Amino acid sequence: MTLPPFPGPIDRPRRLRAGGALRSLVREHTLRPADLVLPMFVREGAQENRPVSSMPGVEQHTMDSLVRAATEATERGVGGIMLFGVPETKNAIGSGATADDGILNAALARLRAELGDATVIMADLCLDEFTDHGHCGVLDAAGRVDNDATLVRYREMALAQAEAGAHLLGPSGMMDGQIAAIRDALDGAGHEETALFAYTAKYASAFYGPFREAVDSTLQGDRRTYQQDPANGREALRELALDVAEGADLVMVKPGLPYLDVLAEVAAASPVPVGAYQVSGEYAMIEAAAANGWIDRDRTVLESLLAFRRAGARTVLTYYASEVAGWYRDGLPAHLREFL
Ligand code: PBG
């Protein structure tokens, strides 16, 4: 049966999509290099870089290559660098996290000396890279993560990182009271200006898989007694209220794409700037699909980063930060320009 044309009326949103100039005029969200933070890994005692096989293009740096890559990212205009350390030896309390010459603190000091205030130097504040059991805190006699004993270690770690010159500390261990405990330690030692980027809603996620390779993690089991249950959205708002009340300067939602709903809710409720972390597994998925020719890598990268901005992230932590910032410097190719 042939029908006559629908008589209407028809409202026509397509008018605003008719050409590139119109689309550019009405575009709500944009991406700039300064919106992106680059997570980086530095390995103690390394003589050469080691690629992270599950994250093609990402590597564990030597101190010198860290400085070179961080300098390049800074020149390209990234908003900041989030540094993770891979120590040579680990123990039950993660001593390397608080030693002045521990890899993370030594690398923070080197970066600050080389880069000054040209970019924001951030430090992951967590024990999992430094403990032999791989947990984010210290354990009690029964082998459980001891919240309050861990806070003591976080306070010590915060002082070491602030003294090394980090501008911003990123407590990522999901211990209760961690922001208040760290803020108090910093203020008591004259580090009132060191800011806190709280990992506020951090889920016990399978998407961290490749990261465990990146930091040579020894974790057996999982982090479900301290990281959030992926089934829960509401408790992210409780964590947000606590972190803000305890003194967080920025808050973060992590992982990214699978938790855009949480990001949008946190962004709507937060009085402080919000970040999102596109984690290792998200990166690995894009790389794997692109390597198979199944998706257009560069467009997928920009689309995913833009999605975080649309959902309410002021800043996005992404392993693509330096590369994408380089695209902007060199001028985006035509098919990517819509993301400018
Ligand atoms: C904890 C930490 C993790 C990540 C960032 N900080 C691992 C974890 O919580 O298990 C994951 C980042 C990523 O997957 O890219 N120090």
Condensed to tens digits (0 to 9), the pLDDT of residues 105-135 reads 999 999 999 999 999 999 999 999 999 999 9
**Cβ of residue 159 lying under 6 Å from some atom of ligand 1:** no
| Tens digit of each residue's pLDDT (9 = 90 or more) over 262-302 | 999 999 999 999 999 999 999 999 999 999 999 999 999 99
Catalytic residue among 254, 263, 278, 313: 254
Question: Do residues 167 and 160 touch, judged by C-beta distance below 8 A?
Answer: no
**Cβ of residue 124 lying under 6 Å from some atom of ligand 1:** yes
**Cβ of residue 282 lying under 6 Å from some atom of ligand 1:** no
Cα 128 to ligand 1 centre (Å): 9
Position 335 scores a pLDDT of: 75
Pocket test for ligand 1, best of 60, 126, 174, 226 (most atoms within 8 A of CB): 126
Residue 337, pLDDT > 80, answer no
Chain mean pLDDT for the chain:
96
Distances (CA, A) of 143 to 148, 202, 218: 14, 22, 15
Q: Which of 104-108, 211-215, 291-295, 334-338 has the lowest mean pLDDT?
A: 334-338
How buried is 325 (Cβ within 10 angstroms: 0-12 exposed, 13-18 middle, 19+ buried)? buried
Position 170 scores a pLDDT of: 98
| Tens digit of each residue's pLDDT (9 = 90 or more) over 6-44 | 999 999 999 999 998 999 999 999 999 999 999 999 999
**How large is the average pLDDT for residues 147-159?**
98
Position 122 scores a pLDDT of: 98
Q: What percent of the chain has pLDDT over 90?
A: 92
**How large is the average pLDDT for residues 46-69?**
97
User: Which residue carries 């861990």 as its tokens?
Assistant: 150
Residue 340's pLDDT band (boundaries 50, 70, 90)?
A: low
Residue 195, pLDDT > 70, answer yes
Residue 226's pLDDT band (boundaries 50, 70, 90)?
A: very high
Question: Do residues 87 and 134 touch, judged by C-beta distance below 8 A?
Answer: no
**Cβ of residue 279 lying under 6 Å from some atom of ligand 1:** yes
Return the beta strands (E) in 11-97 as ranges: 36-43, 50-51, 59-61, 80-86
Residue 210, pLDDT > 80, answer yes
Q: Closest Cα to atom 2, ligand 1: which residue? A: 172
Annotation says 90 is catalytic: no
Integer distance in angstroms from the first to the last C-alpha of the chain?
47
**How large is the average pLDDT for residues 141-155?**
97
Residue 218, pLDDT > 90, answer no
Cα 209 to ligand 1 centre (Å): 9
**Cβ of residue 208 lying under 6 Å from some atom of ligand 1:** yes
Residues 6+ apart with CB under 8 A from 100: 106, 160, 163, 164
Position 231 scores a pLDDT of: 98
Annotation says 202 is catalytic: yes
Domains of the chain with bracketed CATH:
31-337 (3.20.20.70)
DSSP character for 122?
Answer: E
- Nearest-angstrom CA–CA distance, 92 and 133: 7
